[in-house]
Each structure stands twice: as C-alpha cells, then as structure tokens.
Amino acid sequence: MKDLTGKLKGKYDGKNAILSIYAGAGGTDAQDWAEMLLKMYLKFAQRNDWKAEVIHIKEGKEAGIKNATLIIQHPYAYGYLKGENGVHRLVRLSPFNANNLRQTSFALIEVLPELDEVKEINLRPEDLRIETYRASGPGGQYVNKTESAVRITHLSTGLVAACQSGRLQGENKKKALQLLASKLFQRQLKQKKSEREILRGQPLSAEWGSQIRSYVVHPYQMVKDHRTGVKVGNPEAVLDGKLDKFIEGFIQKKK
C-alpha cells in the first residue's frame, strides 16, 4: 500500500476502522458472498501487516454469514478504508444451484471510525438496553464462543451493536459501546448532510444504497470500481486481499 497519509486530512481519518458486512437479498448465495468479503478484508489486513479482529459474526443457516463486524487497527485505517462504504456486487455461477446458473449477489459494506472515547457521543444509561448471550454458530473460525457476548440497543434510534470476541463480559461491553458510539456518530453526520442538501434544494445522497464495485467471475473475469473506473482482470487476486489499486484510486480521485 502506498503511503497516502498526506492526502487523508479528515478529522477522523487517523482512527482505526470498524468495518461491517451485511448480506443482501439472495439467500445462501448472498450470505456466501458476504463471507467471501469478510475473508477478503482479513487477507488485506494481513498482507499489509494491519491488525484485524472480528468482534461479531452471525452465521448463515446453510453457508456464509448474515453479517459480521471487524475492527481494523492501523494508523489511518479509517482514512484508507472509508471508500469501501457501499454495495458490492458479485456475478458468478452459483455453487448452490443444482443447474449451476449465473447468480448476482449483493452485500453492503459499512466503514466507521473507531472513537477513542465513548464520551464523544452522549450515551445515557437510560437510553440503552444491554443484553448478554452466548455466541453461537458452527465452528469457531473467527470468534471465541463464550457466555459473555454483549448486545446493546440504543432505544431512541434502534441502532444495535454487539461484541462476542472477548472472553470477559466487560471487555465485550466496552467494545460494543465503542461500536455503538461510532454508529451514532455516523448517523449524526448523515443527518447533517441531509439537512444541508435539503436547504440547497438538492436530492438526498443515495451513497448507502449505491453499487460501488462489481466483481465478475462469469462470463468474464473483471473487478471494476464504478466511481473511479479502476479495473483489475483477476478477481481471484482481489478476493485474496489485493485491494491496493482500488483504495489508492479512490483516495487519489477524491483529492
């Protein structure tokens, strides 16, 4: 990865990144695609000697995952990865279809800055519902299966944050609170942006629902970023964590 920190001037660009993956419509294919993306980001972190920890995961019934959240720790991790926000599309021959038909699957990537202090966001105890549960799901590939998993719901907004990676309930609660604070922070930013656009008479941004990148495995081999035009003709390499061209292309275009 090139050193582009000189171009990362945002207030929170120097923070760690909280990256969440959500399977879209499409059943098992979409859930399998979500897990492929999880592996891609873990391999990306490994390739660049960044630390990545899966703090929450919800497994699919047959295969893949319904959603997952990981914290990626590295100076400017959020600045580098914030351009991954959006819908990622996969086109391939489905391994879950008896006729091996072509299938299009979608997954949403959400990237937030990890706030150092929860007090940056006002989290009042009376606004929170805190639940503990046992992490479940087959295997143990990504997280510890413990009795101390924590789920926190912000009652007024309905936002939910969960953590199950630690062995101690207090550790999981602290991380869940940090994740919830980051989600509330992002929500506040989106509300301010929407208010500005309404005042200007502009249509609201559809950034959370936009398709930012396509990964085509069949009928041809290509990964294309629709915002920057960056193309790579080897999807296997991209899914193996070689995301540098896309990340660098987004940062260069934005600046």
Residue ranges covered by each domain of the chain: 118-199
- Residue 55 CA to residue 180 CA, distance in Å, equals 13
pLDDT at 1 over 60: yes
DSSP string, 141-197: SSS---S-EEEEEETTT--EEEE-SSSSHHHHHHHHHHHHHHHHHHHHHHHHHHHHH
Per the CB < 8 A criterion, the answer to whether 23 and 34 are in contact is yes
- Residue 60 CA to residue 37 CA, distance in Å, equals 14
- Residue 194 CA to residue 39 CA, distance in Å, equals 33
Looking at residues 134-154, what average pLDDT do you find?
A: 72
Per-residue model confidence as pLDDT tens digits over 175-228: 999 899 888 888 887 777 665 554 444 443 334 456 899 999 999 999 999 999
Per the CB < 8 A criterion, the answer to whether 72 and 51 are in contact is yes
Q: Which architecture does CATH list for 118-199?
A: 2-Layer Sandwich (3.30)
